[in-house]
């Protein structure tokens, strides 16, 4: 069964940017950007997640995978804390009520004639993003010289410690 999904929508006029002094400024005007993708998201509250009723294996797999990824996330937080010379569980209580989301994204092949239909340059706002990239690749990173370089797919999980830290 395939159903039309809901996009998370926000009003750009309501966006605020946190300044270094702890105050907020109105966010600069954003350009609309097309991004051709398919996605499925699971949140931390199981009763709010929606699954196809006629496919129980789908529900079982993704709920188990969510727990597995969350356990790995907690291990990465522990490693971060130890790396900063903090107690091992330092970040856990700070992230306890967060919106841990498991988001599966698929970016289908796009004809080269279509310009600007990929994810625009961005920074993940989470503390940790666990990236599982397939062999098709496509991820690019900006190096310290400001150049975009292809991220060679690596088997397994690549934790991305984002700018929130």
Domains of the chain: 36-161 (2.60.120.330)
Q: So what's the pLDDT on residue 16? A: 59
Q: So what's the pLDDT on residue 19? A: 61
Question: Which pTM value belongs to this model?
Answer: 0.68
Which long-range contacts link 86-91 to residues 24+ away (Cβ below 8 Å)?
A: 91/127
Q: Are 90 and 80 in contact (CB under 8 A)?
A: no
pLDDT means per 10 residues, the chain with 165 residues, are: 43 56 61 68 83 90 90 89 93 77 80 70 74 78 86 74 57
Q: So what's the pLDDT on residue 3? A: 43
Q: How far apart, in whole angstroms, are the C-alpha atoms of residue 53 and residue 131?
A: 28
Q: CA dist 48 to 1, 57, 69, 97, 116, Å?
A: 19, 18, 18, 16, 33
Collect all residues with Cβ–Cβ distance below 8 Å to 126 and sequence separation of at least 6. Answer: 162, 164
Q: So what's the pLDDT on residue 4? A: 43
- How many CA within 13 A on the CB side of residue 41? 12
Q: Are 100 and 73 in contact (CB under 8 A)?
A: yes
């Amino acid at each position: 069964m395939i159903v039309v999904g809901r996009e998370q929508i926000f009003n750009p006029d309501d966006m605020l940017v946190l300044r270094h002094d702890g105050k907020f400024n109105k966010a600069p005007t954003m350009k609309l950007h097309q991004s051709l993708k398919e996605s499925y998201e699971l949140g931390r509250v199981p009763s709010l997640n929606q699954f196809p009723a006629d496919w129980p294996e789908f529900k079982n797999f993704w709920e188990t995978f969510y727990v597995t990824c969350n356990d790995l996330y907690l291990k990465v937080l522990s490693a971060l804390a130890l790396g900063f010379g903090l107690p091992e569980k330092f970040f856990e209580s700070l992230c306890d009520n967060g919106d841990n989301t498991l988001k599966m994204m698929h970016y289908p092949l796009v004809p080269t004639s279509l310009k600007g239909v990929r994810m625009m340059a961005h920074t993940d706002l989470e503390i940790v993003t666990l990236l599982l990239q397939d062999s098709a690749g496509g991820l690019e990173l900006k190096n310290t010289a400001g150049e975009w370089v292809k991220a060679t797919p690596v088997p397994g999980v690549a934790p991305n410690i984002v700018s929130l830290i």
